Amino acid sequence: MLRMPVVTKLLFNGPHEHASAMLVIAVGKGKLILTQIPLPKNQYRSSGIYWSQIFTNLKINSSLNLFDGEKVVAGAQKSNGYPETVRFIKNPGEVLLEKIIGKGEPGEAREGIHNQGLSEGFKWERIKTPDGQLAIPTDCKEFVIFYEMRPGRPRKIQEVVGGLPDPSQQTLIDFWGKGKVTIYVNGKKFQPLNLDGTKGNVSDIDLNQNWNSIIIHFVPDSKDFKMLWRNRQGQPELEFAFN
């Protein structure tokens, strides 16, 4: 039986800046031990006593630091939640638009592979989208944009403990402007939005771990257009990489 060598602060009365806890659960003939150590402050010095006592109780001798060795940096920022540039075609027309949308289907955009048929099969113009904003030309009656996006991990609705779905794993995209906007993700069409100048969003979007094909068609009633990918907590998806 492992015991905490220090007073345990439980999180029953709101979050604490620093807290530690241990939970032992009987599983079959063994025990599952869950631990939470203090936050990584002062190079984990505050957790040294805890781990030392754990080793002592288990009769383990080691001169190694548990935090030495290879590390994986999770959640490294790759963007601000929007592409800095997009591929752009002005006034594509119905026939060309259908061809572009057809190339976004999963068979053409296999997970982990750039959608070369879509990126090189049409005469795209590369334009900048600072802060996720696109300056619409004065003679533009409609436009279609395309870019690829890699979230770094699957962002799909999945069952969790108890068999219930976890929609927080999915993502959303916000749009600003006036006009009709339709987004296609890996060939899947989402319900079009009629923007009235305020923010609108498309939710419940599933993404593959690697490259996803994003096609956006917009029929503008003004010269403003902006987009932002975010999570359900309203935070920009900083882990998303764009191409």
Most confident of 16-25, 35-44, 50-59, 95-104: 95-104
Quote the mean pLDDT of the chain.
81
Report pLDDT for 45: 53
Residue 221 has pLDDT above 50, yes or no: yes
Cβ atoms 89, 99 nearer than 8 A: no
Question: Taking residues 212-237, what's their average pLDDT?
Answer: 94
Question: Taking residues 183-209, what's their average pLDDT?
Answer: 94
The mean-pLDDT minimum among 18-22, 75-79, 193-197 falls in 18-22
The mean-pLDDT minimum among 44-53, 56-65, 87-96, 110-119 falls in 44-53
Report pLDDT for 64: 64
How many CB atoms neighbour CB 121 within 10 A?
A: 13
Question: Taking residues 4-9, what's their average pLDDT?
Answer: 42
85-242 CATH pick, 2.60.40, 1.10.3470, 1.10.8, 3.15.10: 2.60.40
Residue 193 has pLDDT above 70, yes or no: yes
Q: Work out the burial of residue 176: count CB atoms within 10 Å of its CB; fewer than 13 is exposed, 13-18 middle, 19 or more buried.
A: middle
Residue of higher predicted confidence among 168 and 109: 168
Residue of higher predicted confidence among 80 and 114: 80
Report pLDDT for 84: 97
Of 83, 82, 84, 124, the C-alpha closest to 103 is 124
Cβ atoms 229, 242 nearer than 8 A: no
As annotated, the residues of the chain forming the CATH 2.60.40 domain(s) are: 85-242
Share of the chain above pLDDT 90, in %: 51
21 — pLDDT class (breaks 50, 70, 90): low
Of 218, 214, 217, the C-alpha closest to 229 is 214
Residue of higher predicted confidence among 137 and 233: 137
Token pair 């987009």 is found at 227
Question: Taking residues 60-87, what's their average pLDDT?
Answer: 74
Cβ within 8 Å of residue 189, ≥6 positions away: 101, 182, 183
Residue 171 has pLDDT above 80, yes or no: yes
